[in-house]
Amino acid sequence: MKKILVSFVLMASSIISNAQAWETIRHGDLLTFQLPGKYTKKDTLGASIYQSEIDDTTYICSFMKDAQPLRFESNESIDAFYNDYFDNLVAKSNKPQIIKKEIVEFGQFRALRATLQRNIIIKELTWEILTLHVKNTTLSFQCLTQKKAKAQFERLEKSIQFNAALTRKDQISEPATSALATSSNQYIEYAFYTLVGIIVIIVFGRLLFFKKKKAE
C-alpha cells in the first residue's frame, strides 16, 4: 500500500512539474524569453505574437517591426512615445483602473511598466504590461490573470535576455538629419496605433472568454 501511495505521489508531482514547465523562446536576433510550455505563435499584420496559458493566467508577448526606421533623439522623446502609447491603450481598453504606471530603466533600455485592473462580473482581472522599443521594434510583454499572479509576471520579466551586441544606441541616438527626426513622428503614430489595435483585440478576446466561462 505504501509503495502504491509513493508511486501515486511521484506521478502527481511529475504531472504538476510538466504542467508548470517554462520554455525558452528566441525571437530573431533581439532576445530570448520564457513562457509556460505549449505556447502558440501567430504572425499577423506585421507582428509576431506569442501566447501561453497556465491556470487562470494568460501571457501575451508581441513584437512589431516599425513600418519605417524610427530614431529617438533623447530619453524625453521615447518617454513621450510611451506616454502616448499608454494613454491610447487605456482609452481603447474602456479605461481600466490604473494601479501603477512608470517609465523605468530595464537593463540598458528605457521601458514602460504598468499594472491595470478590471472587474468582470465577480472577477478582478489584473493586467501587467512591460513595453520597450528597441532596434526599430516595439516589444510588449503582458500578463492577464484572475489570481494577481505577480510572481509569474516577474518570472517572465526576469527571463528576458537581450542580445549582448545590442546597446543603448539601438534605442536612442542622435538623428542623422533634421528631416529624419521630423518624419519619424509619422512612423511612430503608424506603428503605435497598429500595435494598440492588435493588443486590444487580443485582450478583449480574453476578457470575453472569461465572461462567457463564468456565465456557463
Partners of residue 41 on adjacent β-strands: 50
Buried b (16+ CB within 10 A) or exposed e, 156-179: bbebbebeeebeeebbbeeeeeee
Q: Is the pLDDT of residue 84 over 90?
A: no
pLDDT in tens, 95-131: 789 999 999 999 999 999 999 988 765 567 888 999 9
Q: In this predicted structure, what is the pLDDT of residue 193?
A: 55
pLDDT in tens, 128-167: 999 999 998 999 999 988 866 667 899 999 999 999 999 9
Tell me which amino acid residue 89 is.
L
> What does the CA dihedral 133, 134, 137, 140 come to, rounded to 10 degrees?
-50
Residue with the bigger pLDDT between 88 and 82: it is: 82
Tell me which amino acid residue 68 is.
Q
Per CATH, which fold does 23-215 belong to? Protein Transport Mog1p; Chain A (3.40.1000)
Q: In this predicted structure, what is the pLDDT of residue 174?
A: 63
Domain ranges of the chain: 23-215
* 121: exposed, middle or buried (Cβ count in 10 Å: 0-12, 13-18, 19+): exposed
Q: How confident is the model at residue 2 (pLDDT cuts 50, 70, 90)?
A: very low
Cell of 185: 513622428
pLDDT in tens, 166-208: 999 999 986 554 444 444 555 555 555 556 555 655 555 555 4
Q: Is the pLDDT of residue 50 over 70?
A: yes
Q: How confident is the model at residue 15 (pLDDT cuts 50, 70, 90)?
A: very low
Q: In this predicted structure, what is the pLDDT of residue 159?
A: 96
Q: How confident is the model at residue 9 (pLDDT cuts 50, 70, 90)?
A: very low
Beta carbons within 8 Å of 66's beta carbon, 6+ residues apart: 136, 137, 138, 187, 191
d(CA 76, CA 192): 17
* 77: exposed, middle or buried (Cβ count in 10 Å: 0-12, 13-18, 19+): middle
pLDDT in tens, 137-146: 999 999 988 8
Beta carbons within 8 Å of 146's beta carbon, 6+ residues apart: 56, 57, 123, 124, 125, 126, 210
pTM of the model: 0.77
